[in-house]
Amino acid sequence: MSVLEIRDLHVTVGEGDDAKEILRGVDLTVRSGETHAIMGPNGSGKSTLAYSIAGHPKYTITGGTVTLDGEDVLAMSVDERARAGLFLAMQYPVEVPGVSVSNFLRTAATAVKGEAPKLRTWVKDVKSEMDLLEMDPAFAERNVNEGFSGGEKKRHEILQMRLLKPRIAVLDETDSGLDVDALRVVSEGVNRTREEGEVGVLLITHYTRILRYITPDFVHVFVNGRVVDEGGKELADKLENEGYAAYVKDSKETAKA
């Protein structure tokens, strides 16, 4: 079993007088087989958490720790974090002109696992996962995300997760820009990973609609860079009905005090 532990994490963006603190002491533990939903209004720090875990240079860690199975994640380079078993599905996947999906996937698998997967098995696995994600086989020869629709980009992100088999998968607003059919297919891909029980999932969203397809074990409410409430699926149901207004109000009153 793998464990991602985040303790008292503080993160800023910008430098010098322009530096702004985004995360203000986050505590979170994610274990293999668990699905944690991070919910909150726009600007609450959800995506900052995702990119800080992944090692994006835009974000500066000013305090706290992040460990994966006891190893210091913050001391690792971005590629070392990937090899250690961290995976990030981006909210806005980038295009990579000149690199085909098939080459990208096999190169990524080789880098993460330390050796190239056996070609016959690999081709079979890729085809099987693409079929399950309802992706046209022709996509394997297209350039990464080039000309892809929003739904196609998100399916490709889940395809990567399925093939790379990380220890911890951070999914940053995977539901954004998806129609109902794409949302269903992407959610089924996440659920297949959950059922295997070997991956911990950190699902970041500010909508509850994806949680109609993916039932979280834990829900954490983010406001102003902090976890202000935690619970199970029932907390997501409460947010569906009541929104974040009460949490935002409490956060402002606490800040004034």
Per-residue model confidence as pLDDT tens digits over 69-96: 999 999 999 999 999 999 999 888 889 9
Fold of 3-92+166-256: Rossmann fold (3.40.50)
Give the separation between CA 167 and CA 199, rounded to whole angstroms. 5
Per-residue model confidence (pLDDT) at position 111? 92
Per-residue model confidence (pLDDT) at position 254? 64
pTM for the predicted model, two decimal places: 0.92
Contacts of 199 (CB under 8 A, 6+ apart): 32, 33, 161, 165, 166, 167, 168, 169, 193
Per-residue model confidence as pLDDT tens digits over 84-132: 999 999 888 889 999 999 999 999 999 988 899 998 899 999 999 999 9
Give every residue of the chain whose pLDDT is below 70, as ranges: 252-257
Per-residue model confidence (pLDDT) at position 27? 96
Q: Where exactly are the structural domains of the chain? A: 3-92+166-256
